[in-house]
Chain A
Amino acid sequence: MDSIMFLLNGFSEVLTPTNLLIVLAGSLLGTLVGVLPGLGPTSAIAILLPVTTILDPTQGLMMMAGIYYGSMYGGSTTAILMNIPGESSSVPTTLDGYPLAKKGKAGTALGIAAIGSFIAGIIGLIGLVLFAPFLADQALKFGPPEYFTLLLIALLILFNLTGFSFRKSVIMGLFGFLFSLVGIGITTGTPRFDFGFTFLTGGFEMISIIIGLFAIAEVLKGLEENHTIKKHVKIKSVYPSRQDLKQSIPPIFRGSLLGFFLGILPGVSATITSFLAYDLEKKVSKHPEKFGQGAIEGVAGPESANNATSSGGFIPLLSLGIPASPPLAVLLAALMIYGLTPGPVLFEQNNQIVWTIIASMFIGNAILLLLNLPLVGLWAKLTEVPFGILATIILLISVLGAYSIRNSMFDVVVMIIFGVLGYLFQKYHWPMIPFILCLVLGPKIERYFIESLEMSSGSLLIFIQRPISLTILIFAVIALVISIFLMKRTKKRILQETGEQMEF
């Protein structure tokens, strides 16, 4: 009941002209970046984060949430119109979305994707309102050993999710840890890994690294591709017919529930749930032979599952401080930049801010549905922006954005170097997700580890002697087994559908 009251209070904060404008701007900006081929939610949030710094923390975070939702929505536009999945989680959408577009039903597919994303987003947010405060309340009983176990296990499970070699994932994670250690040490205050250079004393700015790995690397990758503009399919009406809606509503609800409930389990990503939703729809359909030829259920189910999982990811993020995916890792970094500490204390210390952000997500979802259906034509036009112009804008905004975080040219140089590295990582299939997650979570894990061992006078047994910590370990083993099974299945499905390995 308290949650409902807090949420209503949050709505009263959001429903002011300025705040509504901020949510609107965030949603539109996110969609704008999301529809640009090659740029996904992670790059969108990283590039636009510096732009939000002129706002106060609540408004900045409302905008970031809008950017996240908008870019998720934008990804489905290129998947349907151009058969380009911006992220691996959009692959199932292309399977029937693009055939539908070729049949002249692009508008219907985009409309159903928008409606599905809206319903799934709202279901995910209801889950967030119900579960996150409860989980945060339980997590208040956690001490440093429990947090350390939880974070370490979450990372191990997420490493398994990359779709590439587990050993490479571990090495990339360790590199992420290593870079997070550069700077002032947490116990003695002594600089670490500075090698006598003052510019290393402040450590690496994680947003610069993320912009490099995602935005710059994506441009470099684009430079070697042939950029004859791929014409998108013509769009007629974006409003689905009554028949289309009737056909799509059950898949939307099935996809949303599947996406949300599986998505809150650690180690189950949006890619896994969207493929599961697609296969589920094919299984329950009376005409499975229509799948792959342009079945509207093949768009409704996976798009809803994708969005429900993404919304569900806010539960561990806000209540435990654990990001389930790279865009959420960047959001975690954004929360920290704004001076908030994601985790159980967030609901106690920054109650008003958190509930205002959650309320803004409801409004953001509604804005996306209301605005994006009429604007589908405009978004489709954006996919035709020539690469020469697009790449230049991305490179310049990345440089200026990286500089503006700490007004430091060192951060820009770091960003460029990581851009080159990101390009090579993609070329040689070295997963970047473990690197990013460890880079963001590294300092937290180190702090919890040291605090735990100080509590136990140096005994490592503390991690299995405490009942909650032990329970987390047991759950982790179960989650890991489920995750390995689902990951193998999804890896096989991606290979079947695209003929290539993808990081998810």
Chain B
Amino acid sequence: MTSKFISEKKVGGLIAILFGCVSLYEGIQLYPLNKNLLTGDHAFPGFIGLLLILSGLTLFFDRKIAGNKTNLPSGKARLNILLSILMLFIYCLFITLVGYVISTLIVSIALIKMIGNYRWFFSILFGTTITTFLYYLFIVLLKIPFPSGYFAF
């Protein structure tokens, strides 16, 4: 994002304007519930909205383009980042479906294999160790009620 038209400043400015509009809208929606303009649940959403729109506009129309060039990762690094994020979302889904133990075991083995590029044997070994350690920490010690899913452990 180093082009003049889609610089990070312009994108940031646009997002600020967008969020500012949402905040201002919420402030307007809440206004009828209160008696005064400056006191009430609408006041801060209104202020923040206005300030975000103003700051976003100044950033969007700023002529100076930031000097620091940022390169987003490419190739294997990008794939690893995207897969890790995806894996975390899958983990959330798995925990609710199949419960803590199986989902943690599968995800930990997959993450170790993917990030560390270890052989399957080591990935399974490390994954099982990590799952056992986390089981004792969060379930036995901290007694966190994780969903047990279809398989109750």
Residues of A within 8 A of B (CB): 50-51, 53-54, 167-168, 170-171, 174-175, 177-178, 181, 185-188, 190, 192-193, 216, 219-220, 223-224, 386-389, 391-393, 395-397, 399-400, 403-404, 407, 409, 412-413, 416, 419-420, 423, 427-430, 446, 449-450, 453-454, 458, 460, 501
Closest to A165 in B: B66
Interface of A, helix, strand, loop or mixed by DSSP? helix
Q: Is the CB of B134 within 8 A of A177?
A: no
Q: Which of A391, A413, A429, A460 contacts B115 (CB 8 A)?
A: A391
Q: Which of B44, B72, B134 contacts A449 (CB 8 A)?
A: B44
Given known pairs A223-B77, A223-B81, the reply for A192 and B144 (CB within 8 Å) is no
A–B pairs, 6, beta carbons within 8 Å: A175-B19, A224-B73, A224-B77, A387-B115, A388-B115, A412-B92
Residues of B within 8 A of A (CB): 1, 8, 12, 16, 19-20, 22-23, 26, 30, 33-34, 36-41, 43-45, 48, 51-52, 55-56, 58-59, 62, 66, 68, 70, 72-73, 77-78, 80-81, 84-85, 88-89, 91-92, 95-96, 104, 107-108, 111-112, 115-118, 126-127, 130, 134, 137-138, 141-146
Q: Is the CB of A223 within 8 A of B115?
A: yes
A419→B95 CA distance, assembly (Å): 19
Which of B80, B115, B142 is packed against the most chain A CB atoms within 10 Å? B115
Which of A178, A219, A453 is packed against the most chain B CB atoms within 10 Å? A178
Q: Is the CB of A399 within 8 A of B48?
A: no
Q: Is the CB of A454 within 8 A of B39?
A: yes
A168→B56 CA distance, assembly (Å): 9
Q: Is the CB of A399 within 8 A of B33?
A: no
Q: Is the CB of B85 within 8 A of A220?
A: yes
Q: Which residues on B sit within 8 Å (CB–CB) of A423?
A: 81
Q: Which residues on A sit within 8 Å (CB–CB) of B108?
A: 392, 396
Q: Which of A168, A399, A458, A501 contacts B39 (CB 8 A)?
A: A458
Q: Which residues on B sit within 8 Å (CB–CB) of A427?
A: 70, 72
Q: Is the CB of A188 within 8 A of B55?
A: no
Q: Which residues on B sit within 8 Å (CB–CB) of A168?
A: 12, 59
Interface of B, helix, strand, loop or mixed by DSSP? helix
Q: Is the CB of B134 within 8 A of A192?
A: no
A266→B96 CA distance, assembly (Å): 46
A453→B39 CA distance, assembly (Å): 7
Q: Which residues on B sit within 8 Å (CB–CB) of A53?
A: 142
